[in-house]
């Protein structure tokens, strides 16, 4: 399917919508999930326009994995959860709701992840405080 230039993450990449950023480089961006499944829930996206991992170039896939690895280490250190769950959905049929490739980085366990979570917007002040913790951990990796 053709990439939708008006999806919410494309708008964040163009600066048309805000995000609580924790990291950015030439090829990737990481920011707080606005409806966190748990404190510290972070998203990592490529700048290349791609809906799923199946659509992206090998070079951009390598860049987004590299950033995800680094963000996972920082989230683990900052949030001190039981571990870090990474997941990434490909296609609406799999449950993907934003059609721009993203990795979820969540400091939790699979058992906890399976519990129902309120799909409500996180408190912006808490999201910002967690972003600061993650940025601090990133700078001390």
Residues annotated as catalytic are 102
Q: In whole angstroms, what is the distance from residue 74 CA to residue 80 CA?
A: 10
The 11-50 site mask, x for binding ligand AMP (CB under 6 A), equals: ------x-x-------------xxx-------x-------
Beta-bridge mates of residue 87: 104
Q: Which of residues 38, 73, 89, 113 is near ligand AMP by CB under 6 A?
A: 89
Residue 89, token pair as written in the block:
């959905």
If the CB atoms of residues 1 and 141 are measured against ligand AMP, the closer one turns out to be 1
For 37, residues 6+ apart whose C-beta sits below 8 A from its C-beta are 104, 106, 108, 113, 117
Task: Give phi and psi for 100, each to the nearest 5.
Answer: -135, 125
- Cβ closest to ligand AMP, residue 83 vs residue 124: 124
CB 8, min distance to ligand AMP, A = 5
How many residues comprise the chain? 141
Pattern 90-119, ligand AMP, x by CB under 6 A: -----xxxx---------------------
Least distance in angstroms from the C-beta of 33 to ligand AMP: 5
What distance lies between CA 81 and its chain's CA centroid? 17
- Structure token digits, residue 73: 């280490």
Residues that bind ligand AMP (CB under 6 A): 8, 17, 19, 33-35, 43, 89, 95-98
């Amino acid at each position: 399917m053709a990439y939708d230039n008006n999806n919410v993450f494309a708008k964040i990449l163009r600066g048309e919508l805000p995000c609580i950023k924790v990291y950015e480089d030439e090829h990737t961006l990481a920011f707080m999930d606005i409806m966190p499944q748990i404190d510290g829930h972070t998203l990592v996206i490529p700048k290349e326009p791609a809906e799923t991992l199946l659509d992206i170039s090998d070079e951009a896939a390598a860049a987004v994995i590299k950033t995800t690895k680094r963000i996972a280490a920082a989230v683990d250190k900052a949030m001190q959860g039981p571990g870090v769950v990474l997941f990434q959905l490909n296609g609406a049929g799999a449950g993907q709701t934003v059609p721009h490739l993203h990795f979820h980085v969540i400091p939790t366990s699979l058992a906890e992840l399976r519990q129902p979570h309120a799909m409500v917007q996180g408190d912006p002040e808490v999201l910002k405080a967690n972003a600061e913790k993650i940025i601090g951990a990133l700078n001390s990796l």
